[in-house]
């Protein structure tokens, strides 16, 4: 009986995550992107004060050709995924000490999730 209850919980849990994926809200994410748009283009190869975010997911941090990254970002060694982007956006300077991205971070998890969704579909 206990096993059944655990299996049931797992089922609910996994349905929950499938559901939240289906909820990926590009429009809400686009709105959140207003916080970034002064410094980041979503067009490939358009560098503003910040690098283009086109094709961000799956690429190495600080690797946009010709963009003058800070030493901290150029030397960082991770790949942009939903997890790393979420952690970075929560507090850029804490996640990547020495970054010169002048942005305080986004406290609300659902706002970061929407942004993640929007940026993810730019690939």
- Contact footprint for ligand HEC (CB under 6 A): 35-36, 38-40, 49-51, 53, 56, 61-62, 64, 69-70, 72-73, 89, 99-103, 115
CA 115 to mean position of chain CA atoms: 6
The token duo for 47 is: 């560098």
Closest distance between ligand HEC and the C-beta of residue 17, in Å? 23
Answer for the pair 52, 41: CB distance below 8 angstroms, yes or no.
yes
What is residue 5's three-state secondary structure?
Answer: helix
- Closest to ligand HEC by CB, 22 or 77: 77
Closest distance between ligand HEC and the C-beta of residue 99, in Å? 4
* Of 66, 43, 62, nearest in space to 53 by CA: 43
- Closest to ligand HEC by CB, 7 or 80: 80
Question: Roughly how many angstroms between the first and final C-alpha of the chain, as a whole number?
Answer: 46
Closest distance between ligand HEC and the C-beta of residue 51, in Å? 5
Closest distance between ligand HEC and the C-beta of residue 22, in Å? 23
């Amino acid at each position: 009986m206990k096993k059944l209850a655990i299996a049931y919980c797992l089922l609910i849990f996994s349905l929950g995550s499938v559901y939240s994926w289906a909820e990926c809200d590009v429009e809400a994410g686009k709105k959140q992107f207003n916080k970034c748009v002064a410094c980041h283009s979503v067009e490939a190869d358009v560098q503003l004060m910040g690098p283009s975010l086109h094709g961000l997911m799956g690429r190495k941090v600080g690797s946009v050709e010709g963009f003058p990254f800070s030493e901290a970002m150029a030397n960082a060694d991770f790949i942009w995924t939903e997890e790393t982007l979420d952690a970075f956006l929560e507090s850029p300077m804490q996640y990547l000490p020495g970054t010169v991205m002048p942005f305080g971070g986004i406290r609300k998890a659902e706002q970061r999730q929407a942004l993640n969704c929007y940026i993810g579909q730019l690939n």
